[in-house]
Amino acid sequence: MKHLLGLKDLSKEEILKILNLAKDMKLILKSETKKTPHLQGYSVVLLFYENSTRTRTSFELAAKFMGANTTSISVATSSVQKGESLLDTVRTLEALKTDVLIVRHSFSGAPHFIAQNCSFSVINAGDGMNEHPTQALLDMFTIRERLGKLENLKVAIIGDILHSRVARSNIWGLKKFGNEITVYGPQTLLPPFIDKFANVASSLEEAVTNKDVVIDLRIQLERQKRGLISSKYEYYKFFGLNEDIYKFISKDTLIMHPGPVNRGVEISSDIMNLPNCTIEEQVTNGIAVRMAVLYLCTRKEAN
Amino acid sequence: MILIKNANIVNGIDKTVQKADILIVDDRIEKIAPAIKIENPKLEIIDASEKYVFPSFTDIHCHLREPGFEYKEDIRSGSLSAVAGGFTTICCMPNTNPPIDNRAMVAYVRYRAKEVSPIEVLPIGAITKGLNGEELSEIGLMREEGIVAISDDGKCVMNANLMRNALLYAKDFSIPVISHCEDTNLSEGGQMNLGFVSTTLGLRGIPREAESVIVARDLLLAKETKAHLHITHVSTKESVELIRRAKEWGVNVTCDTCPHYISLTEEEVIGFNTNAKVNPPLRTKEDVEALIEAIKEGVIDCIATDHAPHHKDEKNVEFNLAPSGTIGFETAFAVLYTYLIKNRGFEISKLVELLSINPRKIINLKPNMIKENQKANLVIIDPNREWEVKEEDIISKSKNSVFLGKKLTSYVEAVIYEGKILKKDGEIKC
């Protein structure tokens, strides 16, 4: 695997390879020293054009735990502010002997564009509305760990499907394992032809009832200004995982969220504290998954 | 003196293909007859056996980028690209820098074209000053200087009252108003057609209604004002249906579509291919079918290229940042031949209607005809040649063709304009 650009084009076997390796990587996280030599001598660059805490830190720690030399470029203080194009940034990174670039970009396809123009490995840490593959992989890892399987599950994805790269990556990934996906959200936040990829529920109750997993998505509050939702309060009442809706959710159903959470908008604090809510666990599993991805992308024999 | 031997002459109007020799003396067609024999040492003979001879083509919608964007294209390089595609009259849109929105700018383009272009370049003036959509340009003065139509192409005149005034005002000067139909509130931020592919790629979509609601608006305004409305680069099934109805009502409307809208779909964008980023965006198979049907019925009057050159560096960026547009002159005929004649069984004469006769009618020019005593403006086509569109073969300064790598059938082999050979055996001679 040279790059990880998305789950759409990854095979079931490739996904399993990552998840199985992540299981071993998680053992390293449990050890006291948390250090392996897998990436010793490799240069890993983090290039984030969008703000991020958990994904960026998670990748950086993953690389560091494996002995890589890491550097993080903050776009706010980089040459991008002087008008440097992405192509020129890529050429500079190449000249700086980058082995792996982890990139987050607000434009869909930006990691693909980089991959077409460079010799190093590119890992997509989220591109526009397109994909966030490591988030979906860590979700799948968490599901398999908790439920003991990854096949034939009923999964609901709730919220802003239109703008969500997490939703897309999860749909691509989970569908490869024969899972049944149901989506629900305000009509303004559902993309066209979503019914070709998933069931579309007609109510939140219907969406969450009899599900093995409910993935709740983050809502960007700027959507309110763009006329896609009317208010936070109304969103919470009709589309949020609130106490009223919780009675339709089985106690065995995993409740997941990619974070960061808008408490009281997408989900109530009480639900977040329940044992079947996996938000923090997902964060830990994220490091293991990213260690696995970094390892596979740097294996020259596999490239 | 040129003698074209064994030509299959496609004239379009009588829908026949006539086998004959064509003798060209100076700038005119002297004689059309079987087996013309001439003894003259200066005679240039072109063997056109197994070839078609068409009246040369007219494009009513292209971008030559001069002045202001000469790094993309200029009047000379654009003209040579047009010659390569068989066009000898081209109408350039006013979205240059500064824009063609006044008499002096029209004069500049006309003057430059006379100096550097081997073909006829006719400017289109801006509807509004600075293409700002706020105030009418000096349309009458620009008409006097040589514009053949007005358009704010690239932008839609969003103010319906101003568009109504433009239609009324243009009537006084007997020129069409070419409308770029795009409701910018609906298309804002959009990168491609809103649909199945935009959902899978996570690209913000442009709903088809961004085009059709303005088509509907402009048709109603044209109905009321009785002005000549020309809707350019029609791309959706709904737009076609609205225009069909309007024509039935007797509205003075004509329209064109471009080769890429009748041959390609939104799927070209997969892989974030910036050469497939065009405006309006590539649509769906259903739209392609509707456009082809509309061509067959005559609802779509002509084909325009919307030749929109962009520099390689401008297209070699993230999809969101790439400008919209594909070059079009050099592939236009072959695309139409491949998709309409070869794949759909259209009559060959339909291409004369779409490329030679109707575009000229729309801008009030006499059609080019292959007849005795007419100006010798013609194109020789090899219908059997198969070729792949390759960057290194493109004449235009820009190489941003959405057809790169595609295999096409038929090739513009020779071009003669006013008796001068501009292209022969595939080589540009001017």
Bond preceding residue B280 cis, omega within 30 of 0: yes
What tokens does A104 get? 């987050």
Q: Beta-carbon neighbour count of residue A193 at 10 Å?
A: 14
Do residues B80 and B415 touch, judged by C-beta distance below 8 A? no
Residues of chain B contacting A197 with CB distance shorter than 8 Å: 199
Strands B177-179 and B192-193: unpaired
Please answer yes or no on whether B319 and A194 come within 8 Å at the CB atom.
Answer: no
Bond preceding residue B94 cis, omega within 30 of 0: no
Per-residue pLDDT of A97-118, as tens digits, reads 999 999 999 999 999 999 999 9
What tokens does B7 get? 């030509």
Question: Is residue A137 helix, strand or coil?
Answer: helix
Torsion-angle region of residue B340: left (phi > 0), alpha (psi -120 to 50) or beta? alpha
Distance from CA of A164 to the nearest CA of B (A): 8
User: Which chain B residue has its CA at the smallest distance from A86's CA?
Assistant: B317
Confidence of residue A76 (pLDDT cuts 50, 70, 90): confident
Strands B2-10 and B52-55: parallel
Please answer yes or no on whether B199 and A110 come within 8 Å at the CB atom.
Answer: no
Residues of chain A contacting B201 with CB distance shorter than 8 Å: 108-109, 130
Average of per-residue pLDDT values in chain A:
94
Residues of chain B contacting A194 with CB distance shorter than 8 Å: 199
Q: Which of B199, B203, B274, B320 to mutate to test the interface with A (most CBs of A within 10 A)?
A: B199
Of B195, B196, B317, the CB nearest to A86: B317
Burial of B403 (0-12, 13-18, 19+ CB in 10 A): buried
**Strands, E, within A13-153: which ranges?**
43-48, 69-74, 100-105, 121-127
Q: Could you read off the pLDDT tens digit of each residue along chain B, which spans 430 residues?
A: 999 999 999 987 777 899 999 999 999 999 999 999 998 888 999 999 999 999 999 999 999 999 999 999 999 999 999 999 999 999 999 999 999 999 999 999 999 999 999 999 999 999 999 999 999 999 999 999 999 999 999 999 999 999 999 999 999 999 999 999 999 999 999 999 999 999 999 999 999 999 999 999 999 999 999 999 999 999 999 999 999 999 999 999 999 999 999 999 999 999 999 999 999 999 999 999 999 999 999 999 999 999 999 999 999 999 999 999 999 999 999 999 999 999 999 999 999 999 999 999 999 999 989 999 999 999 999 999 999 999 999 999 999 999 999 999 999 999 999 999 999 999 999 9
The pTM of this model reads 0.94
Please answer yes or no on whether A197 and B199 come within 8 Å at the CB atom.
Answer: yes
Per-residue pLDDT of A268-300, as tens digits, reads 999 999 999 999 999 999 999 999 999 999 987
Per the annotation, does A282 bind a ligand? no
Which stretches of chain A sit within 8 Å of chain B by CB? 8, 85-87, 105, 107-110, 112-113, 117, 127-131, 165, 168, 191-194, 196-197
**C-alpha to C-alpha distances, B354 to A292, B150, B268, B392, nearest whole angstrom:** 58, 21, 25, 28
pLDDT at B116: 98
Strands A121-127 and A100-105: parallel
Find how far residue B268's CA is from the centre of its chain.
21
User: Which chain A residue has its CA at the smallest distance from B188's CA?
Assistant: A226
Please answer yes or no on whether B198 and A191 come within 8 Å at the CB atom.
Answer: yes
Q: Beta-carbon neighbour count of residue B341 at 10 Å?
A: 17
What tokens does B120 get? 């006829």
Per the annotation, does A54 bind a ligand? yes
What tokens does B259 get? 């080769």
Q: Using CA of residue B14, residue B15, residue B19, residue B25, what is the dihedral sign?
A: positive
**C-alpha to C-alpha distances, B172 to B101, B143, B418, nearest whole angstrom:** 18, 10, 32
Q: Which of B306, B313, B382, B425 is catalytic?
A: B306
Residues of chain A contacting B316 with CB distance shorter than 8 Å: 87, 117
Based on the residue annotation, tell me whether B256 is a catalytic residue of this protein.
no
Q: How far apart are CA B332 and CA B303, in angstroms?
A: 9
Range in A50-54, A219-223, A287-291 with the lowest mean pLDDT: A219-223
Buried b (16+ CB within 10 A) or exposed e, A264-279: ebbbbeebbeeebbbb
pLDDT at B15: 77
Residues of chain A contacting B203 with CB distance shorter than 8 Å: 108-109, 128-130
Per the annotation, does B311 bind a ligand? no
Helix axes B75-85, B329-336, angle to 10 degrees: 20
What tokens does A3 get? 């790059």
pLDDT at A75: 81
pLDDT at A301: 62
Per the annotation, does B185 bind a ligand? no
pLDDT at A222: 77
Do residues B66 and B73 touch, judged by C-beta distance below 8 A? yes
User: Which chain A residue has its CA at the smallest distance from B274's CA?
Assistant: A113
Q: Which of B318, B319, B320, B321 to mutate to test the interface with A (most CBs of A within 10 A)?
A: B318
B97 Cβ contact list (under 8 Å, min separation 6): B67, B68, B69
Backbone angles phi, psi at B287, to 5 degrees: -70, -45
Residues of chain A contacting B317 with CB distance shorter than 8 Å: 85-87, 113
Please answer yes or no on whether B205 and A192 come within 8 Å at the CB atom.
Answer: yes
Question: Is residue B342 helix, strand or coil?
Answer: helix
Of B196, B202, B319, the CB nearest to A193: B196
Per the annotation, does B61 bind a ligand? yes
Q: How far apart are CA A303 and CA A291, in angstroms?
A: 17
User: Which chain A residue has its CA at the smallest distance from B321's CA?
Assistant: A107
Per-residue pLDDT of B211-255, as tens digits, reads 999 999 999 999 999 999 999 999 999 999 999 999 999 999 999
Q: Which of A3, A113, A200 to mutate to test the interface with B (most CBs of B within 10 A)?
A: A113
